[in-house]
Amino acid sequence: MLELKVRKIGNSLGIVLPKESLLRLRVKEGESLYFTETPDGGYRLTGYNETFSRQLTEAEKIMQQDKDLLRELSNR
Protein backbone atom coordinates (compact mmCIF):
# COMPACT_ATOMS: atom_id res chain seq x y z
CA MET A 1 0.00 0.00 0.00
CA LEU A 2 1.25 3.45 -0.88
CA GLU A 3 0.64 6.48 1.28
CA LEU A 4 -0.01 9.60 -0.77
CA LYS A 5 -0.11 13.10 0.68
CA VAL A 6 -2.62 15.70 -0.45
CA ARG A 7 -0.73 18.84 -1.41
CA LYS A 8 -1.56 22.32 -2.52
CA ILE A 9 -0.92 22.73 -6.25
CA GLY A 10 -1.63 26.30 -7.31
CA ASN A 11 -5.16 27.08 -6.09
CA SER A 12 -6.12 23.39 -6.00
CA LEU A 13 -5.29 20.26 -4.04
CA GLY A 14 -3.70 17.22 -5.62
CA ILE A 15 -1.59 14.13 -5.14
CA VAL A 16 1.70 13.19 -6.76
CA LEU A 17 1.90 9.63 -8.02
CA PRO A 18 5.23 7.80 -7.81
CA LYS A 19 6.96 6.96 -11.09
CA GLU A 20 6.43 3.23 -10.48
CA SER A 21 2.66 3.76 -10.20
CA LEU A 22 2.55 5.73 -13.44
CA LEU A 23 4.46 2.97 -15.23
CA ARG A 24 2.06 0.36 -13.92
CA LEU A 25 -0.95 2.46 -14.99
CA ARG A 26 0.75 2.98 -18.38
CA VAL A 27 0.09 6.72 -18.39
CA LYS A 28 2.21 9.69 -19.28
CA GLU A 29 2.03 13.38 -18.50
CA GLY A 30 -1.13 14.97 -19.88
CA GLU A 31 -3.08 11.71 -20.18
CA SER A 32 -6.32 11.07 -18.31
CA LEU A 33 -6.84 8.81 -15.32
CA TYR A 34 -10.21 7.56 -14.13
CA PHE A 35 -11.17 7.55 -10.46
CA THR A 36 -14.20 5.30 -9.93
CA GLU A 37 -16.04 4.20 -6.82
CA THR A 38 -16.04 0.48 -6.05
CA PRO A 39 -19.00 -1.47 -4.60
CA ASP A 40 -17.24 -1.78 -1.23
CA GLY A 41 -17.02 2.02 -0.86
CA GLY A 42 -13.39 2.30 -1.96
CA TYR A 43 -11.97 3.84 -5.11
CA ARG A 44 -10.10 2.56 -8.13
CA LEU A 45 -7.66 4.54 -10.25
CA THR A 46 -7.20 3.37 -13.83
CA GLY A 47 -5.71 4.63 -17.05
CA TYR A 48 -7.80 5.21 -20.16
CA ASN A 49 -8.79 2.05 -22.01
CA GLU A 50 -10.30 2.81 -25.42
CA THR A 51 -11.85 -0.65 -25.85
CA PHE A 52 -13.48 -0.55 -22.42
CA SER A 53 -14.72 2.98 -23.05
CA ARG A 54 -16.48 1.88 -26.26
CA GLN A 55 -17.96 -1.15 -24.50
CA LEU A 56 -19.25 1.00 -21.66
CA THR A 57 -20.85 3.46 -24.09
CA GLU A 58 -22.63 0.60 -25.86
CA ALA A 59 -23.75 -0.94 -22.55
CA GLU A 60 -25.18 2.41 -21.44
CA LYS A 61 -27.15 2.66 -24.72
CA ILE A 62 -28.58 -0.84 -24.23
CA MET A 63 -29.46 -0.13 -20.61
CA GLN A 64 -31.27 3.06 -21.64
CA GLN A 65 -33.16 1.34 -24.48
CA ASP A 66 -34.18 -1.67 -22.37
CA LYS A 67 -34.60 0.02 -18.99
CA ASP A 68 -38.14 -1.32 -18.47
CA LEU A 69 -37.03 -4.89 -19.20
CA LEU A 70 -33.99 -4.55 -16.92
CA ARG A 71 -36.17 -3.10 -14.13
CA GLU A 72 -38.58 -6.06 -14.46
CA LEU A 73 -35.71 -8.56 -14.36
CA SER A 74 -34.23 -6.92 -11.27
CA ASN A 75 -37.53 -7.35 -9.40
CA ARG A 76 -37.56 -11.14 -9.83
- Per-residue pLDDT for the chain (76 aa), expressed as one digit of tens each? 889 999 999 999 999 999 999 999 889 899 888 888 999 999 998 887 778 778 888 988 988 888 888 888 888 7
Residue 11: per-residue pLDDT: 97
Residue 5: per-residue pLDDT: 94
Q: Measured at the alpha carbon of residue 22, what is the angle toward residues 16 and 24, in degrees to the nearest 5?
A: 140
Dihedral angle of Cα 50, 54, 60, 66, to the nearest 10 degrees: -160
Residue 74: per-residue pLDDT: 85
46 neighbors 25 (Cβ within 8 angstroms): yes
